[in-house]
Amino acid sequence: MIDYGYDFLVSFENDQGGINTVGVVVKATEQSVPPQYPLARNVFNRLVHSNVPGLLLVVNVKQNKIYYWWPKHIDGPERSAARSVSIPVTEADERIKKDLRKRLAA
């Protein structure tokens, strides 16, 4: 099996007539999602250090809630030798979902 690095590649037309592509990693759980979500080091590195912007979505399938993390360069976790990294996730309400759509198309 080939690992392409992302669960989805999504593209949005931007205001200049071009296309913005984002790699999306989706994690599903039936458990409550903690404010600091544990993410495997290799997934963290891919999202933070790739030339394709990345987005992490954590979905609580029992409560039908979505949490997200829009990666940015972070000092500290990537320098650690730990196998996982705790990253801050935010619940996506309707306002945040609209903001994410705008950000993806910007």
Instruction: Please check whether residue 3 lies inside any domain of the structure.
Output: no
Instruction: Please check whether residue 30 lies inside any domain of the structure.
Output: yes
Instruction: Please check whether residue 83 lies inside any domain of the structure.
Output: yes
Instruction: Please check whether residue 39 lies inside any domain of the structure.
Output: yes
Assign residue 5 a region (left: φ > 0; alpha: ψ between -120 and 50; beta: otherwise). left
Instruction: Please check whether residue 2 lies inside any domain of the structure.
Output: no
Domain boundaries, position 16: 8-105
Instruction: Please check whether residue 98 lies inside any domain of the structure.
Output: yes
Kindly give the confidence (pLDDT) of every residue in the chain, 106 residues in length, as a single tens digit, with 9 standing for 90 and above: 566 789 999 998 888 999 989 999 999 999 999 999 999 998 998 898 888 899 999 999 999 999 999 887 555 555 566 788 999 999 998 888 788 777 777 6
Structural domain count, the chain: 1
Instruction: Please check whether residue 1 lies inside any domain of the structure.
Output: no
Q: Which residues contact 51 (CB under 8 A, 6 or more apart)?
A: none
